[in-house]
Structure 1
Amino acid sequence: MQYSPFLSGLMGVCVGDALGVPVEFNSRSDCQEKPITTMVGYGTYHQPAGTWSDDSSLTFCLAESLCNGYNLHEIAKAFCKWIYEGYWTPYGNAFDIGGTTYRAISRLREGVEPIAAGGTDIRDNGNGSLMRILPLAYGYKSLEFPELIKRVHDCSRLTHGHPRSQMACGIYISIAVGLLQGMDIKTAYIEGLKAVEAIYTKPPFKSELPEFKRVWTGEIESLPENAIASDGYVVHTLEASLWCLLKTSSYAEAVLTAVNLGSDTDTTGAVTGGLAGIYYGFEQIPSEWVKAIARREDIIDLANRLAKATENS
């Protein structure tokens, strides 16, 4: 059976997220001493195996909204429903909510315009928009590339408005587009950087380029593991996800490498898993991991609806 890249990406995010949930905040040394090798439960949040966090919830909220077309106000409504009504959560309630994301969604609830809701302070560069941005990549066939990246930036701004966060999302989506076009991982990485170069060598992004210098070399995988951070800073999450993807040769190896870096395990797993899912395909995600995922059939249905909506746009 041929599975769609929509399901591969969405489930790729979710499985990577769920693998990391039980060990979030564990140190790298703890993860190396007792590594995650399969889907387990409980741990940090005392949740059953297959439970996904805010990373997947917000990814699914975005995907659900895109089923009815691109509308920032509708995306904002979905994010508010997630926090306040348990929308697109595994078991009816939101948990593991980042502070920057919570504050931004509170502003959305108060009626602040979506592109003005996300924090713009230098300290607002957590990974909360990068972790959920993948569904926008599927619009690459129907949009001119600059318009696609503008949508990525604007969607980031719902929760993370600083140019650095927008850039991280844009680089990630540009690489995802290359994978969707059939490129191998290394080629998608290099071509993805080339595709956004004209955008990011101009204000307001040009001054942020030094923050991405290790990504921009096109050789992030050459760094040793001890040079790769896996905390909640958006640039570190982008670096770690690309490093894991480029250093491994299967979906399982990529996401387990990501999770076992420790610290922000669910998000590093989710961000890595989205790209790995697209590249390796749904059928290469271990079936026993997929079977454990909460609301698995709902996610499959969402992927099918997003595929239909995207193909008809």
Structure 2
Amino acid sequence: MKGPAKDILFGVAIGEAIGLPFESSERNDMLKYSDSNISGCNVYSQHQGMWSHSTALTFCMAESIIDGYDLETTAINFIGWKNKSLKRSDGYVFDHNNTTVKAICRLEKVMNQSLYTDTSIFSSTSDFDNSNGSLMRILPLLYVIRDKPIRVQFNIIWDNSALTHNHIRAAMCCMIYLKVAEHILHGHEKSDAYQQTRHEIKELWDGIDFDLNEIRYFERVIQSDIRNYSFEYLRSGEYVMDSLESSLWCLLKTDSYKGAIQKSINLGGNTSSTGAITGGLAGLYYGFKSIPDPWIRTLSKRSYILKLANRLDLTFSKRA
């Protein structure tokens, strides 16, 4: 089984880089863009190929896994990214007031004051902890959870998600996303990966007595089939459920990496994170070779990403 690091890391980074120039655009405006003119309107005045916090924090996760993986190392990597411009394409943190950056500031305060315990490192728990900040960075955790019992997987995923988004809904979205990725990694066709995930998640809910009030939020993606919903019913904001639904729909309803990213951009709204989340799964499924060469050539810090992918692949081969 080949190491998936190159597929994952370039998939995430290019998905975000293609989406970033369109950030906060209206959907009606985005539908006019074809796959031949998605270089964007350059909202943030960046050169083509720049990426932002979704990719940067994904790389922080990868570095933590290479080093053996634990929550403290992961938290330190997040803090390093915030403070030292590590793993970023341009040294600028987008949206200093978002929930992810606020949670990382809290992590820093806890660790600087030597208050670290198994629970104090986690963010607060409220409905406001359900933005997509943990989902957008979670894919490298596939290395840690793959082939473990599903309840063990969920505990690992929830602990990681809770560093910045300590709500079971955000964690369950990460669980669903990673379960689809795990089946893809094992060679399943994408529709089969999704259907198997739906079945396994329902069994997990029974096993952990998942709150009925939470189950209702997953109606479109687990109880129903997200493929049965039309494009108009998808949303592309910061809410984690919207991001999960949109990324799965874009993967399942298209037949290429390029097509999946195009659809994620056509949604408008939070095109950078939706592009990254979609791009991670699409990169894993179609492979690095499926990514358009012009998108690769313009990507910022390609050499760094390739070296990181090679190190992560080595980790994968040692633990396989």
TM tier, smaller = over 0.9
Indicate which of 167, 174, 180 corresponds to 1:175: 180
> What amino acid is aligned across from residue 109 of structure 2 in structure 1?
E
How big is the shift at 1:140?
A: 4.4
C-alpha distance after superposition, 1:110-149 (max 9, x if no partner): 1264754323111221101000000011334564443232
Residue 79 of structure 1 aligns to a residue whose secondary structure is: helix
**TM-score normalised to the size of structure 2?**
0.91
How many angstroms apart in 1 are the aligned matches of 2:35 and 2:58? 23
Counterpart of 2:125 in structure 1 is 120
Q: Do residues 29 (structure 1) and 34 (structure 2) align?
A: no
Cα distance, 1:90 vs. partner?
Answer: 0.7
Quote how far apart the aligned CAs of 1:94 are. Answer: 2.5
> Aligned pair 1:200/2:205, yes or no?
yes
2:235 is paired with a residue whose SS is coil
Offset, 1:222:
1.3
Gaps of 5+ in 1: none
SS at match of 2:166: coil
Alignment of 1:39-50 (within 5 A): 40=39, 43-50=42-49
Alignment-mate amino acid for residue 258 of structure 2: A
- Residue type at the aligned position of 2:94: F
* SS of aligned partner of 2:158: helix
Q: Higher mean Cα deviation, 206-215 or 141-150?
A: 141-150
The 3 A distance-change label for structure 1 pair 141 and 228 is closer
1:1-313 pair list within 5 angstroms: 4-35=3-34, 37=36, 40=39, 43-97=42-96, 99-111=98-110, 113=116, 116-141=121-146, 143-201=148-206, 202-203=208-209, 205-313=211-319
TM-score when normalising by structure 1? 0.93
- Give the stretch that moved more between structures: 68-77 or 191-200: 191-200
Number of aligned residue pairs: 312
Asked if 1 retains the 8 angstrom alpha-carbon contact of 2:150 and 2:204, the reply is no
Q: Which amino acid aligns with 2:263?
A: T
- Check whether the contact 1:241–1:258 (CA below 8 A) recurs between aligned residues: yes
Matched letter for residue 58 of structure 2? T
- With 113-122 and 100-109 compared, the bigger mean Cα shift is at 113-122
Aligned letter for 1:122? D
Q: Which runs of 5+ in 2 are unaligned?
A: none
Contact preservation (8 Å) 1:90, 1:295: yes
Q: Distance in 1 between matches of 2:212 and 2:4?
A: 32
CA deviations 1:38-61 (Å, max 9, x no partner) are: 562662111111101100000000
Query: CA distance change for structure 1 residues 141 and 169 in 2, over 3 Å: closer, same or farther?
Result: closer
* Native 8 Å contact 1:131 1:270 kept in 2: yes
Conserved 8 A contact 1:54-1:96: no
Local SS of the residue matching 1:44 = coil
Partner amino acid, structure 2, of 1:73: E
Contact 1:85 1:93 in 2 (8 A): no
Structure 1 CA distance for aligned equivalents of residues 267 and 124 of structure 2: 28
Q: In 2 relative to 1, CA 101–269 (structure 1 residues): closer, same or farther, beyond 3 Å?
A: same
Which whole-Å CA distance do the structure 1 matches of 2:60 and 2:37 have between them?
26
RMSD: 2.0
Matched position secondary structure for 2:272: helix
